Structure 1
Amino acid sequence: MFKTKHHKAAAIAAVLAAAPIIFLPGCGSSQKPNLPPLPPAPVSVMTVKPSPMTIGDTYLGQVTPYIQTVLSPAASGLLSAVNVRPGDVVKAGQVVATLDKSTLVPQQNAVTQAQVALSNAKQQYADALAMYNDRTSAQQQLQAAQNAVEQQKLAVQAAEQNLQKAQLQAQAALKGGGTPQDLSALQAVVAADQQAVDSAKKQLDLANSNLQILQQNLDTAKRLYGDITQEQVQQAYENYEKALASYNSWQHGAFGGNNPYANQVQAYQSIYNALNTGYTQLQQAQQQYNQGLAAVSQAQTALSSAQSNLANAQKSLADATPDASTNLAQQTQLTVQQAETSLAQAQAQYQAAQSSLKLAQAIYDDRTQAKQALDNALAQLKTSTANLQTAQATLEMQVKDGQVTTPISGYVQAVNAQVGQNVGPQTQMITIASMDPAMATVQVPEFDIGKLKVGTKMSVYVPTLNQTVEGKVFAIHPQLDSATNQYPVDIELDGGGAKLLPGMQVEARQETTGSQTAILVPADSVLSLQSGAQEVFVVQNGVAHSRIVQVGAMTSSQYEITSGLQTGDQLVVKGQNLLSDGDKVTIVPDTDSTKQTGSAKTGE
């Protein structure tokens, strides 16, 4: 803003009023009095010289908080103490208000109840786990029983075939040789047994091939997840549950800003998911490999049985035509009796294997029930743990002995509650503004916004402190104010933040390289005439001369003069408001601090 010129008539009137009135004899009333001349007006001057162009387009705004949060108590109750006042500096974690301790009783009761529930859940889980561990081998027992039934079934079939062969041999021996029909039957048995051997070999090859694949899968799982234990998975889950409880407590509390536990929850959840997935895949790979081993064992048993049957059939065929002169009646009859005994034993063992299979199936089914009970107990344990953590977090973090703490450091902007007042979660009790880092928000016209980007260096002048602070563009708000055609721009200030307070007016400009020079003068030295022109005074030979100047860029403290002044001119910087063109002046020292541009002359 330009200073308006004051006419020196006021000063002349003051001098006349103070001077004594003298009437000279013989003088008419129209004769002017002979007044003494006015003394030279005292002024301070500076020598005009080019300076680095440090001013440019100026954007107005104010100091703004980096973070602003409104604190509210976590519970309703009577406010017993307020420890801060507006303007106080607080640190994160500092107690700013205290509620009457009677408000903690319900929450303490909730914690006690949650502790009892967790203790019961732990005992139930321990009982279910003990019952489940007693049946860890039920699945292996069931598989073994199934394999035994299959083996005994094959044994019965083999015994039946052996009995049939023995009977045929006995008939051939008693008749002195086998009939063509008997030989055909034995040959059919040999062919069938040969097919059984071939089929058993193929089954064994398939089982071995599958086992190799399962072995590779198990080796891969061990290489990737072999170090993971069930205890690690359980610990990771408990860490995730604790972080989630803290996150939920913050969300339910009346805190402002971003939830500080969000990243922790995501990290612990990722760790738990990774460990749980790896452990599950390792267990599945091991189980599938064990099943593959059982399949190979079963195929080997089947092949051995088929090979044994084939050997017996081939021997029976070779012996089907004995020497007619040889008496084999007793021998063949004994063979038939042995075959019958073997069949009876095989049938008995088969029935015993079926009974064992039924028992193993019953045990396995009972283990499924135990697994369900264990899962239910674990779910209840997790729920009880989370409930206790939530109750403790509510008590310790939100209210903690009836105290309300600030989550951030900064200034207290407002206190909207008094001791003795009933407050609650809906009460906006204390407002905290963080000034670390120090921030300022200025309004930039639409036609200038393209000159700025994040990181652009800025010079910010704070008139209240008469201080210039360096900074850089922190953020450009993308929303244009349709009323002013301006964009809000946030500037992060470097240093000096301890003296800045929210709401202080600022003037920001983009820093220049300093290669350009200009004539810069104090803003107070430029006067505004009624005609709208701008005027300054320069001193030559003790006389003040008026100069009309053109003003370029400006701030509240400096103006750029684009015409009307020359290097070396003695510019009046103090006393110019009472001057007129041609007034005599005397130069006196400037008692103010050194000017931002040029220097004041101390005498002439």
Structure 2
Amino acid sequence: MQKQLHTITLLVLMLVFTTVAVMAAASVEVTEVEQGNIKIIETVTGTVKADKNVNVPAEIGGVAKQVKVEIGDQVAKGEVLIVLNQEKLLVQQKQAEAALESARANYDQLKNGATQEELDRAEASYQQAKSTLENAKTNLKLVEELYNDKTSLEQQLTSAESQMANAEQQLASARQSLNQAQVNFNQAKKDYERMEYLFSESVVTEKDYDAAESQYKNAESALNTAKITVEQAEISYQAAKRSYQLTKDTYDNPTQLKQQLENARSQVKNAEAGLDSAKANLAEVKRGAREEQLRAALAQVRQAEANLEQVKLNLADTTITSPISGVISAVNIEEGELVSAGQSVVNVVNLNHVYVQLDVTASTVARLVKGEQVKVDVETMNDSLSGEISNISPAADPQTKNYLVKVKLANPALKIKAGMFADVALIKGSAQNAVIVPIEAVLDLDSAHPYLYLLKDNKAVKQKIEIGITNSDEVEVSSGVDVGDQVIIKGQNRIDSGVEVKVINR
């Protein structure tokens, strides 16, 4: 019996020691919840391209007489690169000059002292005289009708007065619309500026911001349209007012109308005399070579001039110059080699600025902003560079479904070469003044109910949280913890809520 009691006592003691060992405080590490900025960075690898990359073609064919550049040479815009043989073209130039001289001599012989310019002037004077007479007759008829029919003049006065009243009413309405458009624009501008600030602070959605921006642009367009409408209404009103005043003066002063009738008759007589004179002058100028002969001879002169001009252009094209300032990256011909028209002879690149060409997904491109500064790491270079997003394609590549993005880099020392690879750090999302904890502190991060452990009174307290932006190092906590709280970052996988813990990193 005593032996059994002894055995039971030993078992009880072992159980007590085991319990004490289990209840000993677990060791953990903690850190303090901080407030700061957090970013989601996506690194995309792209290829460096030259800002300008020009394949310089030969405009005409020929034999390369001189090749003045080599790969790596710096050239200025307009600098001579290649010179083609010119001997055949110089002979063609002399032939074209002789043909032009012959055509001019033939034309001078046919015109018999009457130049084409004189013929054109005489014809123009005749047509002008005919037009003047027709206008004078039309005016006379109108004045006679006004003079003989007082009722017609009264109707014109009434019509002019009505038109002026309508124009004045339209002007008043246009001004009222302009005032309302100005009020609408001022309010839309105020709303847009407020929405722009709220969007930059991530308070409103992009859809709300786009709606405010669209309303602002529509209001601006409406305001500009209203201004134009007022200007047009003002012009119409002034014209109607002048027409009314002229009609009224004529109606109130019959003597003036009679004088207008006499003047109109006199103008018709003068126009008839002018037409007779212009007709006689035209007949005199046309005597000599027939008009069609002169036109044919003149056409031959113009054809000869065009041929000579084409030869001169071909001669100029034998000197191939650089269209841009840059560096020679390829020379595709040798001296004495036959060059074809359109053949690329030299490649010139401008590397003062380069850009990194990227292919990014739809989710990434939606976050990018033109003009945004990004960090760029170019292979073979030790230090990171600052680049600017200069181009964002509005449409995806139909095959890859990715979007083309260009990041511009300054390259004053020309150390960055086309074809190099570069890593670009793109910001996909960010939050300012956020509550941030280390990512290792959060448990069940990818679940619907993430949580962490807080240190309170030397005990671990389980705390559910809501999270926002997450990157590889940190997590934004939108609710559940406050700045300054102590959060457990190591050892939390071996504890339960409410157990006593021992902090080992203080």
TM-score over 0.5 for the alignment?
A: no
- Which structure: larger Rg? 1
More strand by share: 2
Which category describes the TM-score, using the shorter chain as reference length?
0.3 to 0.5
